[in-house]
């Protein structure tokens, strides 16, 4: 995981939403909202959200990015 990524329980994010948004916007962090140690959603910088929208939404963006991510398994 990138050092700019952060996992935060949903309850903590709710209580500190202004700070969470500032962290994403100013520090360009991706914040993963967690419930019972499982990621439920992510808050990302606006530029990334706009790119996801521009390519046709999350499903299309995931397909495009999957082709560029290195596999952990040997070829």
pLDDT along the chain (75 residues), means of 10: 73 95 94 96 96 94 88 55
Name the 3-class secondary structure at 4: coil
Show the tokens assigned to 24. Answer: 């994403």
> In this predicted structure, what is the pLDDT of residue 75?
47
Look at residue 2 in the predicted model and tell me its pLDDT.
Answer: 43
Count CA within 13 A, CB hemisphere, residue 13: 20
Helix count and strand count (H, E) for the chain: 4, 3
Confidence (pLDDT) at 48:
95
Given this model, what pLDDT does residue 67 score?
86
Residue 25's pLDDT is 95
């Amino acid at each position: 995981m990138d050092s700019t990524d952060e996992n935060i329980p949903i309850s903590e994010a709710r209580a500190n939403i202004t700070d969470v948004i500032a962290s994403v916007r100013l520090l360009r962090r991706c914040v993963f909202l967690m419930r019972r140690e499982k990621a439920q959603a992510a808050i990302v910088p606006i530029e990334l959200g706009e790119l996801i929208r521009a390519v046709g939404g999350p499903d299309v963006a995931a397909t495009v990015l999957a082709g560029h991510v290195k596999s952990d398994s040997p070829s």
